[in-house]
Chains A and B, each alone.
Chain A
Amino acid sequence: MRIAVLGLGAVGKGLLRMLAAKPELGLVLTAVADSSSACIEPGGIDPAAVLDRKSATNRCGTQGLTAEQVLDSGAFDVLVELTPTNAVTGEPALTHMRRALALGRHVVTSNKGPIAAAHAELQEIAAGQGVALRYEATVGGAIPVIHAIRDGLAGNRFHAITGVLNGTCNYILTRMDEEGLTYDQALAEARELGYAEADPTYDVRGIDAAIKLVILANTCWNLGVVLDDVAITGIDGLTVDALRLAAAQDCTIRLIGEASPDRGILRVAPRVLPRSHPLVIEGTLNAVMLSTDMAGECTLIGKGAGSVETASAIIGDLLAIRDRYVECG
């Protein structure tokens, strides 16, 4: 199966490393683009050579070639969209994905922007073309939560989704709880360790978690909710005293995304949880609890980000597409 990769940052590099390390997967790289170059080889590209070129020149291919030209070439079965997230417009990924789907190509992405903003539209184009749109890597990093909703728990009615969807916030709250650090101290530490961006606003204000909640909610219920529908409170106003007061009751505080159409709930907010609650997880981990009619409660816990971890989710999607659409030969 031929794949084209747009975006060669942390996630794109992790994916190419795994393609190089696991040739037995049968995933053939035929095109790759970053913000200033591209490389198109319908016969196949050596992912290791692309990585070497990227680290030597900061370009993955020929300067001046673009993602648009990759799309024009049509030399791929699946487009893997890994450009930066724009939560408002979803661009440039949204345009890339629309074009690939319109060409009758499958799309796999780790990019939350277009999935949160235009899931229904993209899904409709995909269905019309008889191709797949898969986005496991957009939520919960390596955790196969979208697979669980769509496949493993297929046929269940979903009552609610609750989850820890942002590793940065979970790290900060874990440190405030365990070490009595102030919010500012814990944030500074998270930055130093590379767990928080230079501008952590999206994470600490709960926006990133809300985007992921929107994606999960639309996957479960297909009600077309958008970011604006989510009631969002971040963790940036929390005090050490709040964690201490919670601790005195054998509880702690975590940033929780919660969706339940039955109860009219769609919100992200810091919440008090008993320490024994399955969503009380440590550090940068993520967790999602699915409450269903047949399976009862099912909680998935795992690494919420990281280069190879996210590549794992992308490869899972690619292989699911291969098994479903591409004949083995």
Chain B
Amino acid sequence: MVPLQVSMKLEMKDSPGQLVAALTPISEFGGNIIAVIHQREPDASSDTLGVQIVLEIEQDRLDALVAAIKRQGVSILRIGEERLLYRQSVIMIGHLIHTDIGDTIDRIDSTGFAEVAELNVQMPAITEPSTALITIKATTRSEMERALDLLRGVAAEKGLLIVEPLAEGER
């Protein structure tokens, strides 16, 4: 199962209960609302309400959700997907090239749920350890944690030092 982050621009009648009607199917389909942004135009003489919502939902439930929202009499003006939700950068120190940095990256990329999005390697003199900033993208927080675990294992195996961020809001 691959959760997606989806953003939708909705348009509905500006009357009581409409927003709730539009949002109810999301939880019914196991989705998770991340943000609801009202977009009432100031000059709005129209009786419609624009709402931008960002949600997380299993990929295979998205079509059913879209149909359910439409059944509520809400029109979906735009829909966008972003597969990889979480980004996390760690610093790696050691003999990165000698220990095959390509393989290190492959091990993350081949998981299917996470990938190396950016790599910035600083190389000093040849015998000195090099340092890299490696940015990983993953779909969910738990998959990010699995990817980091994998990276910790690879680092231990290759004798590399990893400096991780001190996570905020994890308390």
Contact = CB atoms under 8 A, between A and B. Distances in A.
Interface of A: 159-160, 162, 233, 237-239, 241-242, 244-246, 248-249, 251, 253, 256, 258, 260, 263, 269-274, 277, 279, 291, 297
Give the most central of B94, B161, B164: most A CB within 10 Å: B161
A242 B163 contact: yes
Contacts of A239: 93, 122, 124, 128-129, 131
Contacts of B166: 162, 256, 258, 271-273, 277, 279
B153 to A, nearest CB: 14
28 contacts: A159-B171, A237-B93, A237-B129, A238-B93, A238-B161, A239-B128, A239-B131, A241-B130, A241-B131, A242-B163, A244-B122, A245-B122, A245-B131, A245-B133, A248-B133, A253-B91, A253-B163, A263-B170, A270-B163, A271-B164, A271-B165, A272-B89, A272-B90, A272-B91, A272-B163, A272-B165, A272-B166, A297-B171
Nearest to A296: B171
A238 B133 CA distance: 13
B171 A269 contact: no
Contact of A251 (B120, B122, B131, B165): B165
Interface of B: 89-91, 93-94, 120, 122, 124, 128-133, 161, 163-166, 168, 170-171
Nearest to A272: B165
A105 to B, nearest CB: 40
Given A237-B129, A263-B170, A242 B164 contact: no
B114 to A, nearest CB: 19
A277 B161 CA distance: 23
Chain B interface SS verdict (over half): strand
A274 B94 CA distance: 23
A269 B163 contact: yes
Nearest to B159: A237
A157 to B, nearest CB: 12
Contacts of A246: 91, 163
Contacts of B130: 241
Nearest to A162: B166
Contacts of A279: 166
Given A162-B166, A237-B161, A263-B170, A242 B131 contact: yes
Contacts, number: 67
A272 B128 CA distance: 22
A226 to B, nearest CB: 22
Contacts of B128: 239
A271 B168 CA distance: 12
Contacts of B133: 245, 248-249
A245 B91 contact: yes
The 7 closest A-B pairs by CB, nearest first: A241-B131, A241-B122, A271-B166, A245-B133, A272-B165, A291-B171, A237-B161
Nearest to A256: B166
Contacts of B122: 239, 241, 244-245
Nearest to B161: A237
Given A241-B130, A273-B166, A249 B89 contact: yes
Give the most central of A233, A239, A253, A279: most B CB within 10 Å: A239
A271 B163 contact: yes
A217 B28 CA distance: 42
A288 to B, nearest CB: 14
Nearest to A279: B166
Give the most central of A159, A242, A269, A273: most B CB within 10 Å: A242
A279 B122 CA distance: 27
Contacts of B94: 237
A249 B91 CA distance: 12
B26 to A, nearest CB: 29
B30 to A, nearest CB: 25
Nearest to B133: A245
Contacts of B165: 251, 271-273
A256 to B, nearest CB: 6
A233 to B, nearest CB: 7
B116 to A, nearest CB: 15
A160 B171 contact: yes
Given A160-B171, A237-B93, A245 B120 contact: yes
Given A277-B166, A279-B166, A242 B91 contact: yes
Given A245-B120, A272-B89, A272-B165, 13 more contacts: A239-B93, A239-B122, A239-B124, A245-B122, A245-B131, A245-B133, A253-B91, A258-B166, A269-B163, A269-B164, A270-B163, A271-B164, A272-B166
